[in-house]
Amino acid sequence: MTENFSNDTFKSEKGIHTDFIEKMTYGDYLQLDTLLSSQKRLSNHHDEMLFIIIHHVSELWLKLIIHETQGAIDAIQRKDLQASFKMLARVSKIQTQIIQAWDVLSTLTPAEYMEFRDKLGNASGFQSYQYRLVEFVLGYKTPFILKIYKKDPEVHGILEKAYLAPGLYDVSIHALADAGFPISKTVLERDFSKTYERDESVEAAWLEVYRNVDKYWDLYQLAEKLVDIEDWFQQWRFRHMKTVERIIGHKTGTGGSSGVGYLKKVLDHYFFPELWDIRTKI
């Protein structure tokens, strides 16, 4: 009965294309043959497929986060804040997706993971160059990270370029200066390869924005978009840490890090510190 209904419905759609001998299909456009053949298990364990797909999906979302964040940086530099808001709002929505991915991975039990963990060798999410690129475009620069990628000159070049370039917060601070706020020269002319540190002039500027929302509406919107991204990023970090703890406890990570201990440390880092500090002072 269901099959007949489906056939009748299909036949009623007269405009549906069925001849693709010389036309591009959905699979062609998305290169599904490449995408769906990339999940290659190194063990015969059923759950290794879950492990691979979760990380593939996360890498795709990270790619889009980088694309949108770099687009937002360009828009802010062009003084087109409205365009950046759409991109940054999209980043926040993407972040909710990669956070939920941890819920799926957490269905993997410690006993199941240990069946294939040895097959990973020293491969680890710690080495994800796209995750590091996200950190770089958000302004968190760590020089030792670049050493991991010397094996691949192309990847190393991409990371080095982002490492030396202004991050999302840097261009946002320049937007404050463009609006007439007296931002410290040391901040505006700082070495972008260094991780940003709190500055009183930046805090004073954001405080003024929040105290005069109507006057600085665009900058206020920008600030809240940044807070959204950092909020979701911290939630992602927390879910990452708890998922790792749930599956391997306090074992050393395959990449050599302290695992849960390392993940707990990075929870204390802020990309946009003044935007959090001023909440106590408003």
What are the structural domains of the chain?
45-280 (1.20.58.480)
Asked whether residue 240 is marked as a ligand-binding residue, the answer is yes
End-to-end CA distance of the chain: give it in Å, rounded. 65
Axis crossing angle, helix 81-105 with helix 48-77, rounded to the nearest 10: 170
Asked whether residue 21 is marked as a ligand-binding residue, the answer is no
Q: Which two tokens stand for residue 267?
A: 């929870």
Q: What's the mean pLDDT in 110-123?
A: 93
pLDDT 10s digits, 48-103: 999 999 999 999 999 999 999 999 999 999 999 999 999 999 999 999 999 999 99
More confident residue, 140 or 266: 140
Q: What's the mean pLDDT in 209-235?
A: 98
Asked whether residue 55 is marked as a ligand-binding residue, the answer is yes
Asked whether residue 46 is marked as a ligand-binding residue, the answer is no
Q: What is the pLDDT of residue 145?
A: 82
Is the pLDDT at 259 greater than 90? The verdict is no
- Contact (Cβ atoms closer than 8 angstroms) between residue 96 and residue 81: no
Instruction: Give the pLDDT band (50/70/90) at residue 261.
Output: confident
Q: What is the pLDDT of residue 122?
A: 86
Instruction: Give the pLDDT band (50/70/90) at residue 4.
Output: low
Asked whether residue 211 is marked as a ligand-binding residue, the answer is no
Instruction: Give the pLDDT band (50/70/90) at residue 6.
Output: low
Instruction: Give the pLDDT band (50/70/90) at residue 8.
Output: low
In sign, the C-alpha dihedral spanning 67, 69, 70, 75 is positive
Q: What is the pLDDT of residue 7?
A: 64
From residue 266, how far is each of 100, 209, 263 by CA, in Å? 20, 29, 5
Q: What's the mean pLDDT in 225-229?
A: 98
Is the pLDDT at 41 greater than 90? The verdict is yes
Asked whether residue 149 is marked as a ligand-binding residue, the answer is no
Asked whether residue 269 is marked as a ligand-binding residue, the answer is no
Is the pLDDT at 2 greater than 90? The verdict is no
Q: What's the mean pLDDT in 114-120?
A: 94
Asked whether residue 54 is marked as a ligand-binding residue, the answer is yes
Is the pLDDT at 175 greater than 80? The verdict is yes
> For residues 4 and 71, what is the distance between their CA atoms, to the nearest angstrom?
48
